[in-house]
């Protein structure tokens, strides 16, 4: 039985796609033994195409090769190890917190000296764990470090992770499988030396916590992370050039093995005075821009700020403060548009319109 013209055309398309895949594999930078492994898959796939038995197998092999080609096996970004610029970046993102900033500046100084004096040694950056209450700026320090070093940022939120496989990936034998969040993060960053922010590592599900802690040990241990094996890629991926930063609300659910590989930094709580400065100089200007308002169009009188800062008693972070200001700015934007006002001034007399009622 001969193939129809449509079948012949389809086979030609597949053969052309395989030629393009072969070309990509030859040009891509990757370990030679991995290249050899992929070529074996291609030979097997080519036989399947010739025999007309290609549908599922072609999709699997094609998808796998696509992921392998996305991994930055060698590409790196160049660090900007300038302590003065780093200080400016941290000050831009955080008010106060001198001790925490000093620790990060020491961290960058050590990286600079290692690069200058010990270039031939393996790169080993200390792994910092920022511990503090919600809203104290832990996550922002990770992005500030990324900006200061001019490294790509990969954020992996642990809240709701229900299986270690979400980090390590699923075997290719599983239908619809893909790499885990770590390898996906490298692919998104496009370099093998990003800052990977392991956000809220204490919030993984109870059922999978022990397994997830085991994966964390592999990620954070310099003796192991140079050959991290994702179950889908099934080949060691070098994470030794990566800078890891972790955050947690508390350390009660973190295993001793994980804590041994981390350097803990306690995040201080904000005082009311610090919150006032943060609200006026950091949060409110950004919110006004987001709402399309000019600074002159929205004002909060000084005697109203205490109610904005402390609506429900003491709060260590700034999340509630941020939500309160967001709501007030949105209401002001609506009033200006609907009523044609030039500006909105929040006073004690009209504050109930703009501030939440508890």
Q: What tokens appear for 100 in the block?
A: 């925490």
Q: What tokens appear for 83 in the block?
A: 């302590």
The strand pair at 236-237 and 228-229 is best described as antiparallel
E strand intervals along 132-205: 153-157, 195-199
Give CA–CA dist 303/346, Å, rounded: 10
pLDDT at 175: 81
The strand pair at 344-346 and 298-300 is best described as parallel
The SS3 call for residue 295 is helix
Does domain 83-266 fall under CATH 3.40.50.200? My reply is no
CB 148 within 8 A of CB 89: yes
The DSSP call for residue 318 is S
CB 152 within 8 A of CB 189: yes
State how far the alpha carbon of 144 is from the alpha carbons of 116, 285, 312, in Å: 23, 19, 30
pLDDT at 1: 46
CB 349 within 8 A of CB 307: no
Give CA–CA dist 30/38, Å, rounded: 11
Give CA–CA dist 23/28, Å, rounded: 9
**Residue pLDDT tens, the chain, 358 long:** 455 556 667 667 777 877 887 887 887 788 889 988 888 888 877 777 666 666 667 778 888 888 998 999 999 999 999 999 999 999 998 888 888 899 889 888 988 888 888 776 665 667 899 998 887 888 999 999 999 999 999 999 998 788 999 999 999 888 889 999 999 999 999 999 999 999 999 998 888 889 999 999 999 998 899 999 999 999 999 998 899 999 999 999 999 999 999 999 998 878 888 889 989 998 999 999 999 999 999 999 999 998 898 766 556 568 888 889 999 999 999 999 999 999 999 999 999 999 887 5
Does domain 272-354 fall under CATH 1.10.8.60? My reply is yes
Give CA–CA dist 216/221, Å, rounded: 8
Give CA–CA dist 263/104, Å, rounded: 12
pLDDT at 24: 79
Give CA–CA dist 274/146, Å, rounded: 25
């Amino acid at each position: 039985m001969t193939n129809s013209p449509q079948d012949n055309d389809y086979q030609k398309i597949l053969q052309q796609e395989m030629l393009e895949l072969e070309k990509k594999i030859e040009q891509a930078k990757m370990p030679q033994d991995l290249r050899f492994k992929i070529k074996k898959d291609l030979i097997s796939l080519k036989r399947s195409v010739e025999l007309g038995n290609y549908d599922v197998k072609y999709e699997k092999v094609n998808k796998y090769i696509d992921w392998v080609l996305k991994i930055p096996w060698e590409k790196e970004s160049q660090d900007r190890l300038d302590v003065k610029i780093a200080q400016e970046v941290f000050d831009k993102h955080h008010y106060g917190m001198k001790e925490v900033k000093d620790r990060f500046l020491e961290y960058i100084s050590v990286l600079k000296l290692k690069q200058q004096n010990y270039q031939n040694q393996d790169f080993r950056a200390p792994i910092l764990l920022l511990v503090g209450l919600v809203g104290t700026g832990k996550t922002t320090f990770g992005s500030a470090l990324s900006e200061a070093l001019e490294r790509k940022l990969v954020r992996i939120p642990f809240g709701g992770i229900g299986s270690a496989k979400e980090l390590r990936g699923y075997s290719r034998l599983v239908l619809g499988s893909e790499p885990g969040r770590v390898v996906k993060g490298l692919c998104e960053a496009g370099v093998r030396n990003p800052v990977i922010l392991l956000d809220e590592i204490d919030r993984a599900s109870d059922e999978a916590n022990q397994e997830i802690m085991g994966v964390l040990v592999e990620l954070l241990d310099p003796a192991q992370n140079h050959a991290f094996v994702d179950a889908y890629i099934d080949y060691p991926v070098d994470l030794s050039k990566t800078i890891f930063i972790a955050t947690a609300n508390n350390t009660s659910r973190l295993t001793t093995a994980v804590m041994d590989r981390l350097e803990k930094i306690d995040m201080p709580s904000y005082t009311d005075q610090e919150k006032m400065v943060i609200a006026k100089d950091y949060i409110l200007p950004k919110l006004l821009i987001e709402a399309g308002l000019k600074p002159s169009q929205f004002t909060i009188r000084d005697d109203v700020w205490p109610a904005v800062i402390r609506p429900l008693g003491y709060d260590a972070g700034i999340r509630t403060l941020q939500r309160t200001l967001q709501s007030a700015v949105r209401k002001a934007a609506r009033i200006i548009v609907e009523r044609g006002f030039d500006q909105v001034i929040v006073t004690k007399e009209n504050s109930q319109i703009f501030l939440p009622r508890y």
